[in-house]
Structure formats: C-alpha cells, structure tokens
Structure 1
Amino acid sequence: MRLLRQCGAETLEHPGGTLLAHLLRVRQQLAEWGARPALQRAGLCHAFYGTDGFASALLPLERRRELASAIGGEAEELVYFYAACDRKVTYRGLGAYRDRFTGGTRAPAPQEQRDFAELTAANELDLAALDEDFRRRHGDGLLKLFTGMRPALSPAAWQSCVDVLGSEKRTGRA
C-alpha cells in the first residue's frame, strides 16, 4: 500500500474513482473467488507498469525489483505478465501470448493462463459492475471473451461473469 500511495495511485483518476480504489476492488474480488495470496497481490498491483488498456504506469520497468521487493517475486511476475500482454494477440486465445514490451511471443503455461484469465475477469468485471454505459458498450464482447476463457476461470469467476454481464444487465432490465 505504501508503494501504491508513493506512486500516486490514490490520486490517479480511473473509472469508478481512483486507480487505488479500483485496485483494491480487484484484489477483493480475487480474494472472494479464492485466489492464492500472490494472485491477490498481483491484482492489487496489476497496473504498476500500465496495461494495454490503461497507459498510465506507476513505475517504469527498470524498477521491477522495487515492486518485487514489496509484493514478492511471484506476484511481480504476474503483474509483469498482465501488463506486458498484447491484448489483440492474447485475447484471441490463451494459447498465444505476445509481450508488448519486448515483442516476444510464446505459449503461456496453464497456470499463467488461469492467473491471466482470473485477473482479467476481476479487472473488467469491476468496470462493468460500476458503469452501466461501459457494460452496455462492452458487455457482449466481454462475455464472449470470458466464454472463451471459461476453461481457465474458476467456477466463482465464471459465475461473476454471468452475473455481471448477463444480457439483462446491459439492456437496463435488471
């Protein structure tokens, strides 16, 4: 938390309030789904290096050791994996991954696929749950994305996808 505050997460605007508020909600969602501690810490810090969908970075990549020291090496590796993801490639199927920082491509390991799917769901569902317009505009695409990721999602995460992105939520009939 200290590093998040030092890097300005509680003053950086983000849909639904501040970046810090969003990060806390993502971590809490992962905890509710039963994610292991390293994935919860990664959820709390997933935007440290920016993402393919959120350009603002709290730390440059040259300071990865600083984040690893604060949250642990495994959690920092998850943060990097999430931040480096080229969504246009990876969202087509979890069997292909392109690092947007290095340009390298590879097939992610099954645990990386599961972690990425859970973190992606927690991140996007937070936005969809808070913003009806976002849900209306992106809900169909997100539901399609998470349907494709379903084998990698925990049952609790999948149920949240259905609960938040169900068609009645996007049309305002809920």
Structure 2
Amino acid sequence: MDIPGSTREAVALLREHGAEGMEHPGGTLLAHLDRVRQRLSEWGARPELQLAGLCHAFYGTNGFANALLPLDRRSELAAVIGTEAEELVYFYASCDREVSYGTLADEDAAFRDRFAGGTYTPPLGRRQDFAELTAANELDLARVNDTFRAEWSGELLGLFTRWRPLLSGAAWQDVRDLLVLRDEEGTVAEGPPTSGARRGIDGSRPPV
C-alpha cells in the first residue's frame, strides 16, 4: 500500500528534527512513532489519528520530555499534517497524566492541560482518540521491550481496563492479547497484571 504524501512529509519533518537518531525505550524515537502509526492503521483509525500517532512526541509528553518543536511553532506541524491531527498532537502532549488519567473515561472527566494550566472536560470523541493513541503507544513498547513489559504490564492493564469504554474493539483485543497473563494451556492466570490496576489509574506512569 502506498504511504500517503502527508505521512511521508511528516516522516521527513521528524527526521529533520532529529527523531531518527534519538534514543527511546522502543529503539529510536522515529522507529517507535512509525510503529504507533502502523498499529493505529491496523485498528482502523482514521488518517488524522494515524498522523497524530506518528507525530505525538513533537511537543514532548508528560513522560517523554524531549520536544522536537516548541509550542510557539505549532503552525509548522499543522502545515504538514493538518489542523485536526496537530490539535490531537497538542492534546496528547498537554495531558497532565497524574490528574487526568483516573477520570478520563468518566462523563465528567477532569483533564488538566499541563501547558496552559487549566482543567476541563474534553468531548467524548477527543477522549476516545486520546485513549486509542495511548494504547497504541504503550502496547508498542510492551511488544518490543521485554523490560518495559515486565515492569509496566500490570499498571497498563489496570489503566486500559478503566478506559475500556473509550477503546475500539481492536485496541481492547490487543490489550488482552499482550497484557493478560495466561498459563501454558492458554487460560487467563490470576496474579500480577491486575495487581497494579490502582496505581495505573491514579497516574503512576511509564516514562514514555
């Protein structure tokens, strides 16, 4: 399948700003970002969300401080990936995870913008996009980095179980396939994965 022009241009911008040589728990930052895009594509995400997945680290995140562009240059990213995708990148980057993660699936979710400082309730669609992108991001690292998976699988399973109403069926199936412990017969095993649920919901997060 041909890669859309906007995706090629976004990859070029990422390379221009050093993502290809930046170390990351998932290898290089660029390799990780492209895998996130591909996972969102496999889940059937619309093009704008796929582009946001590819570019979600441009302004840094609450767990990955290395921003590729400062916020006063948001227009440069928007010119490449479009306004909607860029707004999703900002939304993802702006999340104060400790405040926001615990109530994200609630009707009256309290989302704190760590850049602007305010707290508000985003619309359901925006929270669904955020949850889907977060799942694609964290599941990629759990798949390619055994150390990350061993340390964080319990917290992630707890978090995504709490966010189940926001996730697509494909994303939830990947959560179960990757994070739920099973015995040799394939039966779900009891133990560590659910033991971290409270910490995950309350904001204890992996550094990505």
Which residues of 2 match residues 16-165 of structure 1 at below 5 A? 16-94=26-104, 95-165=109-179
Q: Which moved more, 1:73-82 or 1:7-16?
A: 7-16
1:118, CA displacement in angstroms?
0.2
* Distance across 2 between alignment mates of 1:64 and 1:133: 34
* Distance across 2 between alignment mates of 1:151 and 1:71: 28
Give the TM-score normalised by the residue count of structure 1.
0.95
The higher-RCO structure (CA 8 Å, 6+ apart) is: 2
Paired residues, number: 171
* Distance across 1 between alignment mates of 2:26 and 2:88: 24
Q: Which moved more, 1:26-35 or 1:133-142?
A: 133-142
* Distance across 2 between alignment mates of 1:96 and 1:50: 21
**Matched-pair identity in %:** 65
1:104, CA displacement in angstroms?
0.7
Structure 2 residue corresponding to 1:7, chosen from 14, 17, 26: 17
Q: Could you tell me which amino acid in structure 2 is paired with residue 23 of structure 1?
A: L
Root-mean-square deviation (CA, aligned residues, Å) is 1.4
Runs of 4+ in 1 over 6 A off after TM superposition: none
* Distance across 2 between alignment mates of 1:138 and 1:40: 24
* Distance across 1 between alignment mates of 2:115 and 2:90: 10
* Distance across 2 between alignment mates of 1:131 and 1:3: 26
Find the residue that maps to 1:47 and give its secondary structure.
Answer: coil
* Distance across 2 between alignment mates of 1:129 and 1:168: 16
Q: Could you tell me which amino acid in structure 2 is paired with residue 144 of structure 1?
A: G
1:17, CA displacement in angstroms?
1.2
Q: Which segments of 5 or more consecutive residues in structure 1 lack a partner in the other structure?
A: none
Give the TM-score normalised by the residue count of structure 2.
0.80
Q: Could you tell me which amino acid in structure 2 is paired with residue 90 of structure 1?
A: S
1:54, CA displacement in angstroms?
0.4
Name the residue aligned to 2:3. none
